[in-house]
Every structure is written in C-alpha cells, then in structure tokens.
Amino acid sequence: MDLGALFRDRGMFDSRRAWSEAGFRVIDRANNGKIMVAGHPSVPGLLFKKYTDDIDERYQTRNFERRIEGANRLRSFIASHRLQRIVVPRKRLLKLPRPFKGEHVLVVEQFDLRSDDQTKAAYANIDPIALGDLCAVLFHFRGMDSIPKNIPFIADGRIGFVDTEHWDRGSSKSYLHYVGDYLSADRRKLAKKIFAQLEDGDRGDFSHEEDTSDSSDDFDYEEDTSTSSSS
C-alpha cells in the first residue's frame, strides 16, 4: 500500500465530498454521523474509516482502538465456541504519513455484503444453526448494535458483524432488538428457546427447526443494568 500516494492532501478529511475528490469511493450511509467510510481502487478488499477533521484526533484514535479490540474479542469468541455462521472483519490502525502529523485511519477488511433488503429477507427464515450462532454472540456481547446494517448477511450466507465499537456496552433492550422484527414467528419462538437455554448455561443444538416452546414470540428478559465503558 503506497500511503504517500493514497493520503496526500491534508484537507481530504474535511468532508465526504473532499475525500471523494481525493479519488476515494465514499460510501454514503445515513447513520454514520461524523465517521466516513471509503474504498480506493488501488487497494481492493479494504475499506478505510476516518472521522471528519472537526472531531478531536485523540477521540478518533480511542474509538478506532475500541473497534479493533471489539473485532478481536468477537473473533476469539467465534473461534473458541466454533461458530460457523458468524464472521468479523479484520481491523487495523494505520498511522498516516506526512502531512497528517500523527493522525490515524482505521483499515477494515471488506466483505461482499448483501443489500439491506436482501439481509432483512434472509433474517425472516434464518437457518437454525445461524440463528443459534447469532444468539450466542448477542447474548455474550450484550450491547452490540443489532440493526440489519450492522449485522448484514454476506454473499456466502454467513452473518457479518461489521460494527464492533460497542462490544462491552450494557443494554436493557431485548437481545434481538431490531433484527428480531424481521424474523418469522417460528424463528422468533426458536430464538426465545435459544436465549432461555443460554440463560441456563446450555449452548444446545439448534440444527433442527422443531420448537416445543410456548407460542409467545416476545423477547422480554431480565434487564441488564451494566453500564458501558467510556470511550
């Protein structure tokens, strides 16, 4: 990667437009806030994340480090529990060359993501094994944002946890808050059974669709009153 060729203009992070004018393909996501996401044709398979220049550089670096730690912890959890249907992109903190004076950019492995509509449709009748893996991750990493854009399906059928910033944040919301809205009634009942088993310390076998739980399809569980760490 030729950093000097990629990152030359000190003003390229002023805005999405400025970054685009520097030759990057900036991804327009309405929920990104101040953080920008872009790719470059010279480095296929990678994405770059950077906040606009009005955000304090120390905050940016701490935020990037949290995202990297979250990705590493999720990958370790996936490996130790032998989950087959969940994948997390690799992330790395990259120090920018002059004239950026010690600034950093987050480099992220790019997945071939399904569209938002395709992801929502896939959740409707998600494979029971994939649902079991998904529930295990959301049960352990309680504060992960579970909107479809953050845990989309990728082209090979696995679920990608692409936003790992809030890996240790507490939450009192239901485990499948957001994506649970797209599950069929049968899958909602199965998810309820899975979470009940996880509460009891039983990982279980979810390779079959049969479900003997009651007909309720809500996700009301004991509140998690832990708090998120500052970042």
Three-state secondary-structure class, residue 113 = strand
Residue ranges with strand state E in the chain: 25-27, 35-39, 46-51, 86-87, 91-95, 104-109, 159-160
What is the arithmetic mean of pLDDT over 170-174?
A: 70
* Mean pLDDT for all residues in the chain: 85
Three-state secondary-structure class, residue 82 = coil
**How many Å apart are CA 226 and CA 142, to the nearest integer?**
10
At residue 156, the pLDDT reads: 96
What tokens appear for 122 in the block?
A: 């896939």
Q: Which amino acid is at 210?
A: E
- Kindly report, residue by residue over 87-118, the tens digit of the pLDDT: 999 999 999 998 898 899 999 999 999 999 99
A 10 A CB-CB count for 81 gives 14
User: In this predicted structure, which of 32-41, 68-77, 181-190 has the lowest mean pLDDT?
Assistant: 32-41
- Kindly report, residue by residue over 102-160, the tens digit of the pLDDT: 899 999 999 999 999 999 999 999 999 999 999 999 999 987 878 899 999 999 999 99
Backbone angles phi, psi at 61, to 5 degrees: -65, -45
Give 88's strand partners: none
What tokens appear for 40 in the block?
A: 């470059």
At residue 40, the pLDDT reads: 97
Instruction: Please tell me what DSSP assigns to residue 115.
Output: P
**Residue 39 burial by Cβ neighbours in a 10 Å radius (0-12, 13-18, 19+):** middle
Task: Give the chain's largest Cα–Cα span.
Answer: 63
Q: Which amino acid is at 110?
A: Q
**How many Å apart are CA 27 and CA 80, to the nearest integer?**
33
Three-state secondary-structure class, residue 171 = coil
ω before 99 within 30° of 0 (cis)? yes
